[in-house]
Structure 1
Amino acid sequence: MASFNEADFSHCCEICGLEGLTEEEFRIHTHTAHIEGSGICPFCGLSAASSAELILHVNQAHLDFLTPESEPNISFIDDPSPSEFNGIHVENHWKTDSYSSRNASSYSGSIIKSNININPNSKVNGGGELSPSISSHSQGSPLRTNLELKLKNSQSTFQCPMCTYTSLNPNVLEEHVNRSHFDLISPSVGDSITTTTTTTTSEMYVCPLCTKKSDSAADLELHVNIEHRDILSPASPSTQNCPVCGILLDGDINSEKAARHVESHFPATSPQPADRAALREREQREFEMLRAQYGMDNQGNFKEQSVTNMQRAVYAGEMSVSDYYERTLDLRAAESCGIDDGSSVTRSIVPRVRAISNNATNVVRTLLCTCVDHYASSYGDRGWGCGYRNTQMLISSLLTHTGYNEKLYAIWKEQKPPRSSVPSISRIQGIIEQAWSQGFDIQGAEQLGSRLVNTRKWIGATEVVTLLSFLRIKCQLVDFHKPTGSSGTHPELFAWVHRYFDSSVGGEFTPPLYLQHQGHSRTIMGIEVNRDGSLTLLVLDPSHSPQQMAQLGDTNSASALRLLRKNEASMKARQYQIVAVVGMNESEQQFQQSKILRGLRIPQDR
């Protein structure tokens, strides 16, 4: 609320009615106009020879008016008729321009007659009493209209610090500030702020809520709206919903009523011992199922699962007995030497995919890796071996490059198998364990218990990086940790893959990309650029059988690439990770630095 400033108080001359005087101006005016010059009684118009006689006359004849004891005396100044005094009649003529220049313009020097009756016992310039009485009423009291005398008001007037509004009640002024000056576009502000600012630039405005001062009403109002907005417009209480059923709760969610409502959703008593036992049993069963799903139950391995599933295939008529024994012998040989038996491989894919893509009418450009073989899941790894099969696809491509072949051949040590040999799943598990023992990816080793051999544990992108880094092959791990397009798509992933294959055009060796997402992994062998500018990934999936991959042999069939093509709408997993082979770690420093996994996050954190 605006406060009353004592420095702004102005004085009013009680003798002639002149207003708006400071204390110093009031003293000079009184001395000049009423002490040194001739005086005229402001109440009855009687002229006096000296100021002493005038003061004596006012104190004696008009004492009751100066210090009224009752309300009727105050009405004297507003009496519309001339005043009469009982006693002898004295006729006095005066001109308004002789006593005050303030009233000259109002009356233009007209002569006004005042009848004053003085009783025989009274004296005009001496002792005695003059008793005024109201005798008649007519229009226009000369005491009011000529002198413009204002009674002293015992109440203080409070002025708004932002406009010219005044009020005797501080509460009313406070309400005016809160309503009229709520913000800068308030319709109550109008031109008053502009006028006040331009005409009284030297006037200081005080914030009604703090001690800040400003010479501009607009600046002060802006200060109030910004600094004290919580007082002028406090935030309305937010509604709360029940965290269990979602029903709208009245009042604070921490109130007793809300607490009782939330507690009503739960049983009043704790579960019985039998219920607790059943709950623990169910949790244990679900935990074991989860462990089995991710191969963490230590139940079975690649070899055992292969034998079991082949036996089931024989019982179901999917495999003959002779095929069963033949596959069993091949499995034992592969496990003993650590080389994949090649029973699920489809070779020479790249030339066939290129031919089919080039025949497509809506494809303007096809970018593919140099070479890659497809490895499908078999009886021994179905349900958990996708990470190993995609690793075999990547290795099959690297083996065609002389430099990478030399690094990969270190797997075999003294065995010396053919240089095109691809390690089996069991051998890949053993190499990753060796890398862990050398200090690669310590956190990943702890998560998997530092053990993979003879288990069905899943592997992901970090284990692939660990394997290749241990073999001194340099990798880049790219984490597309959240969607970057509408509807959960990943346009940044497509753009990155396009740049990867496009930068390798010109005969340079280009390996495929390892693609990981929640629960599955695949291999990106290339990308298509369509006429409308959209991109389509060409993806190899281990879940596709050799019979399905055989469809690629028909290069004239446009539908043969349906298994491989993936557009943005079909890639909506929450997160993707890509492993790209980008060179070799030749120095010992690079080899040691590769023990700590480092990745690129897209989009980058801010």
Structure 2
Amino acid sequence: MRAALRRSQQQTGLHRAPRPTSSAASAAPTRRLSAFFPPYPSRRTRPAPSKRELAAPERSAPAPHTDARWRTPPRRAPHWLGGGARRSQQPLRGAPAPGRERLFPAGAGEAPRGTGGIAAMVLCDVCGRALPHPRRPSLCRRQPRCPLCAASLGCDELRRHMETAHPEPGPPGSRRPGAPAECPFCGEAAGRELEEHVRARHGHLLGAPGTDTGNGEQLYECPMCSLTCTNIQILEEHVDLHLEEHNFSEGGNIRDLELAQQLQTEEDERQRLEEEKREREEFKKLQRQYGLDNSGGFKQQFLKNMEREVDRGRMQPFEYHKRKAEMMESLASGIDDGKTKTSGVIEALCKYYQNENKDVRHVWLSAGVDHFHSSLGDRGWGCGYRNFQMLLSSLLQNSFYNDCLRDTTLIPSIPKIQSMIEDAWKEGFDPHGASHFNNRLHGSKAWIGACEIYSLLTSLRIKCQIIDFHKPTGPMGTHPRLFEWILRYYSTDNEGGAKVVCTSKPPIYLQHQGHSRTVVGIEEKKNKSLCLLLFDPGCSSQQMQKLLRQNCDGTGLRLLRKFVGSLKEKQYQIVAVDGVLSLEEKAARCRASQVLTSEKIP
């Protein structure tokens, strides 16, 4: 019965567990696993260590809970490194990191027993080769030598020799751009002649016979990457590829430098074009601001503004045609139509100061001056022309200047004044200023300033001078020296200390950045403070008419009065008339105006 049961258990793969002691007789049967996995060796069946294992001092005994046959064999150096089991502190090219082994399927007869068909292979720290079983005694037979220069060295010396004499090349782009390529054998900078240098000085390394494999074949090792070949021609082609890589890397660096230079040149050209475009736009903006953009002159602006007034319902069509006809007649004759003129203001001021304003100690007034304001044709740019009309109106009322102005008996229109300035340029006055306007003013909206007024007056034989107050002379950007100069200009005619003095002095042309006005008098308060009286072309005729009323209470003078704290521009220029020129003096001033100068204060 027992024999039949034992045969049945053997057929089904079941058996009773062995009885370690007599008290385990009733243990339950277990399923046998030997049919699926190899038997795990127990601690009792572990083989005894061999004499070689006992003699190796650097190997430590396995842990008591593991089997030596399942432990990864210790890494040993190849036979040509001396057979020691030393580990590299820094892996070379192709070698794994220290402490890491690669596992490969074991070949026939290579897997140690009990490893389940997997062989633990050790890679060389220097060349990266997979070594056979570490216990083979043939690994320690020969002395190690350098695979690149065949130098016989010890293990440690060989590692240092490989790191210093044959360092690995850096990553792409690590070499400085433009630096010549270095020889892989001697490190000499060879540049583009690297291939010729290697063949000339190290040709023996390229064609040197290799080692014998034992079966009659010669092995040739590449001096650059340690690749082993059995054919010398294949090795030469392989080395040529290395040399071509060096040349390509050098050529690539040169091409990169050329590309960078080309990109930088293109960027500079783009910035230059953008700067030129910006300058052209700024110049066009300045041309539009100063009326030099060829957008038409007085006539075109007058018609355009009248059409706009008709469109807005502020002007009737019949009035449009009437004013257009008057404007065309004025342009044809060259005489101002007088639509913007206000006369008698100086006389009204003289009466007012004599009867009112007790806080004024002295007041000096210019000779009779008519006020002219801007019209539809010159609004925004005609202040200089209007101020010249004011100055000329005073000169025409003074018989002292009749000889100079016998050809100009009436106030000219703005287009006529432009033509008169062009005639002065043609005579040779201020050629530098003429070039600024391209010698043309008529038909434009060009602004004029003190230099153009000086050239025009001098061409008419009127003696004048330009005074330049080029910087502030008082606190908070004020110009007290300007007020003092104007006071001296008028006070020379003060006789007997009269309160109101109507002098024979012409008005003064006052220019600053962006605008100009006409000085017609100056007040001296009882506290010795000074106040200028100015005619502004921006004031309309309706505002100026308030000064002509009999019951003027002085509020209208606010349009004329400017105290020291009211004039805070950085620079002021004035044109003051001071007599008549002879023909010789006119010619001398014309020659002197080749480089126009002014008197600077301070």
Q: What is aligned with 1:50?
A: none
- The letter of the residue matching 1:552 is L
Question: Quick one: which of 441, 448, 471 aligns to 1:482?
Answer: 471
Q: What is aligned with 1:583?
A: 579
Question: Quick one: which of 544, 548, 551 aligns to 1:553?
Answer: 548
Deviation string for 1:9-60 (max 9, x for gaps)? xxxxxxxxxxxxxxxxxxxxxxxxxxxxxxxxxxxxxxxxxxxxxxxxxxxx
Number of residue-to-residue matches in the alignment:
330
Query: Following the alignment from structure 1 to structure 2, what is the Cα–Cα distance between the partners of residues 303 and 365?
Result: 44
The 3 A distance-change label for structure 1 pair 341 and 446 is same
Query: Following the alignment from structure 1 to structure 2, what is the Cα–Cα distance between the partners of residues 289 and 589?
Result: 40
Question: Quick one: which of 555, 559, 564 aligns to 1:568?
Answer: 564
The 3 A distance-change label for structure 1 pair 353 and 595 is farther
The 3 A distance-change label for structure 1 pair 595 and 399 is farther
Deviation string for 1:191-231 (max 9, x for gaps)? xxxxxxxxxxxxxxxxxxxxxxxxxxxxxxxxxxxxxxxxx
- The letter of the residue matching 1:431 is M
Q: With structure 1 as the length reference, what TM-score do the two structures score?
A: 0.52
Deviation string for 1:302-325 (max 9, x for gaps)? 111111011111222222222222
Query: Following the alignment from structure 1 to structure 2, what is the Cα–Cα distance between the partners of residues 285 and 537?
Result: 40
The 3 A distance-change label for structure 1 pair 406 and 538 is same
Displacement after TM superposition at 1:590 (Å): 4.2
Displacement after TM superposition at 1:290 (Å): 1.3
* Pairing 1:519–2:514 present: yes
CA contact (8 A) 2:508 2:519 kept: yes
* Pairing 1:457–2:455 present: no
* Pairing 1:355–2:351 present: yes
CA contact (8 A) 1:472 1:591 kept: no
- The letter of the residue matching 2:484 is A
* Pairing 1:286–2:282 present: yes
Query: Following the alignment from structure 1 to structure 2, what is the Cα–Cα distance between the partners of residues 591 and 516?
Result: 26
* Pairing 1:404–2:393 present: no
Query: Following the alignment from structure 2 to structure 1, what is the Cα–Cα distance between the partners of residues 522 and 585?
Result: 35
- The letter of the residue matching 2:327 is L
CA contact (8 A) 1:302 1:455 kept: yes
- The letter of the residue matching 1:468 is L
Deviation string for 1:553-586 (max 9, x for gaps)? 2353221101110001110111111111101112
SS in 2 for 1:410: coil
Query: Following the alignment from structure 1 to structure 2, what is the Cα–Cα distance between the partners of residues 441 and 287?
Result: 23
Q: What is aligned with 1:470?
A: 459
Alignment of 1:499-538 (within 5 A): 499-505=488-494, 509-538=504-533
The 3 A distance-change label for structure 1 pair 278 and 442 is closer
Deviation string for 1:379-432 (max 9, x for gaps)? 111111110000000000000112313312324xxxxxxx3x101111111111
CA contact (8 A) 1:484 1:492 kept: yes
The 3 A distance-change label for structure 1 pair 590 and 283 is closer
Query: Following the alignment from structure 2 to structure 1, what is the Cα–Cα distance between the partners of residues 394 and 540?
Result: 20
CA contact (8 A) 1:349 1:552 kept: yes
Alignment of 1:227-242 (within 5 A): none
CA contact (8 A) 1:356 1:561 kept: no
Displacement after TM superposition at 1:296 (Å): 1.2
CA contact (8 A) 1:490 1:572 kept: yes
Q: What is aligned with 2:247?
A: none
User: Structure 1 residues 499-508 or 471-480, which shifts more?
Assistant: 499-508
SS in 1 for 2:544: helix
Question: Quick one: which of 472, 480, 486 aligns to 1:491?
Answer: 480
The 3 A distance-change label for structure 1 pair 586 and 274 is closer
The 3 A distance-change label for structure 1 pair 277 and 318 is farther
Displacement after TM superposition at 1:548 (Å): 1.5
Q: What is aligned with 1:386?
A: 383
CA contact (8 A) 2:546 2:552 kept: no
CA contact (8 A) 2:394 2:507 kept: yes
- The letter of the residue matching 1:288 is K
In structure 1, list runs of 5 or more residues that go unmatched. 1-267, 412-418
Query: Following the alignment from structure 2 to structure 1, what is the Cα–Cα distance between the partners of residues 377 and 276?
Result: 33
Q: What is aligned with 1:446?
A: 435
Displacement after TM superposition at 1:356 (Å): 3.3
CA contact (8 A) 2:469 2:573 kept: yes
SS in 2 for 1:596: helix
Q: CA RMSD in A?
A: 2.4
SS in 1 for 2:527: coil
Q: What is aligned with 1:544?
A: 539
* Pairing 1:374–2:371 present: yes
Q: What is aligned with 2:599?
A: 601
SS in 1 for 2:592: coil
SS in 1 for 2:522: strand
Q: What is aligned with 1:238?
A: none
Deviation string for 1:226-253 (max 9, x for gaps)? xxxxxxxxxxxxxxxxxxxxxxxxxxxx
SS in 1 for 2:421: helix
Displacement after TM superposition at 1:288 (Å): 1.4
Displacement after TM superposition at 1:550 (Å): 1.6
CA contact (8 A) 2:344 2:548 kept: no
- The letter of the residue matching 1:406 is D
Q: What is aligned with 2:234?
A: none
In structure 2, list runs of 5 or more residues that go unmatched. 1-263, 496-501
Displacement after TM superposition at 1:285 (Å): 3.0
SS in 1 for 2:406: helix
Query: Following the alignment from structure 2 to structure 1, what is the Cα–Cα distance between the partners of residues 590 and 524?
Result: 34
Deviation string for 1:38-97 (max 9, x for gaps)? xxxxxxxxxxxxxxxxxxxxxxxxxxxxxxxxxxxxxxxxxxxxxxxxxxxxxxxxxxxx
CA contact (8 A) 1:441 1:595 kept: no
The 3 A distance-change label for structure 1 pair 587 and 277 is closer
Displacement after TM superposition at 1:279 (Å): 6.2
SS in 1 for 2:393: helix
Query: Following the alignment from structure 1 to structure 2, what is the Cα–Cα distance between the partners of residues 513 and 293?
Result: 26
Deviation string for 1:333-369 (max 9, x for gaps)? 1100100011111111101122334412321211100
Query: Following the alignment from structure 2 to structure 1, what is the Cα–Cα distance between the partners of residues 404 and 533?
Result: 28
